[in-house]
Amino acid sequence: MPHIETPEGIRIRYDERGPRDARPLVLAHGFGVSLEMWLPQTRALAEDYRLITWDARGHGGSSAPAAVEDYTMPALARDLRGLLEALDATEGAVIGGMSFGGMIATQYAVDYPDGLHALVLSDTTTRGDAPPRARGDTAEEYAGDPGIEGGLHAMATRPDLTPHLGELSMPALVIVGEHDEMILSGLPRLIDGLPSRRVVRLEGCFHGTSGQRPAAWNDAVLRFLRDVEAGAPLGEDEWV
């Protein structure tokens, strides 16, 4: 797969499918996985969109800096910006992500709102005022893996973007699993803060909705984007 190098010297692996002249639809993967997690979405989303998936630093085939402190949400958003600038895909892009990737997408929207067409935030929310999490068993298990330790550091130290959500004027789609206990308690922060959003709750799903019910997930994204393109109301929250 192709790579680009960001201005900071981070090598980012990416995949690009669909019409080159179509609107960019960019998806960031979850923690500890890679762009391949989006394979169940590729066929449906690349038909009418320029689908760009990518490996965050420390994941998949992208660079893995040795210093944990080099992994922050603003740095990950800068990596994404560098990728899209290299691909000439910043203007009019739809930016999305799942869980960890949704954190990156939200940070990107706050840092680079100009020209952003829409947001797709799946299985994610803002940090809120919770203190940084302790290292715990997961960090110990992966001690010595800079990408995993760095990703944990980025999530634990991410800024709370809740106060900035009201500044995001672009339409946003929020997807959440009916039983996602990792997200549900913090979900009101996200949906109450976004001024223009549609919420789709996927029945029977836990964390990782795009893999559990890919057809329903894809349909929710495509319906949302069609409505945004048509200027249609985003409507009430949906159960699917």
Under 8 Å between Cβ of 41 and 219: no
C-alpha separations of 9 from 78, 94, 175 in Å: 11, 25, 33
Report the sign of the C-alpha dihedral through residues 218, 223, 226, 231, in that order.
negative
7, amino acid identity: P
Q: What pLDDT is attached to residue 137?
A: 43
pLDDT in tens, 169-221: 999 999 999 999 999 999 999 999 999 999 999 999 999 999 999 999 999 99
pTM (predicted TM-score):
0.95
Q: For the chain, state the CA radius of gyration.
A: 17
pLDDT in tens, 98-110: 999 999 999 999 9
pLDDT at residue 138 greater than cutoff 90: no
CATH code of 3-239, in short, is 3.40.50.1820
Report the sign of the C-alpha dihedral through residues 159, 163, 167, 170, in that order.
positive
- Name which of 34, 31, 28 is nearest 51 in CA terms: 28
Domain ranges, ordered by start, for the chain: 3-239
Q: What pLDDT is attached to residue 122?
A: 98
DSSP per position, the chain: --EEE-TTS-EEEEEEES-TTSPEEEEE--TT--GGGGHHHHHHHTTTSEEEEEPPTTSTTS---S-GGG--HHHHHHHHHHHHHHTT--TT-EEEEETHHHHHHHHHHHH--TT--EEEEES----TTPPPPP-HHHHHHTTT-HHHHHHHHHHHH----GGGGGG--S-EEEEEETT-TTTGGGHHHHHHH-SSEEEEEETT--S-HHHHSHHHHHHHHHHHHHHHHHT----S-EE-
Backbone angles phi, psi at 193, to 5 degrees: -85, -30
Q: What pLDDT is attached to residue 142?
A: 54
pLDDT at residue 135 greater than cutoff 80: no
The two three-digit tokens of residue 191, written as one number? 């949906």
Both ends of the chain: CA-CA distance in Å?
35
Under 8 Å between Cβ of 64 and 150: yes
pLDDT in tens, 139-178: 455 567 999 999 999 999 999 999 999 999 999 999 999 9
pLDDT in tens, 55-97: 999 999 999 999 999 999 999 999 999 999 999 999 999 999 9
pLDDT in tens, 39-63: 999 999 999 999 999 999 999 999 9
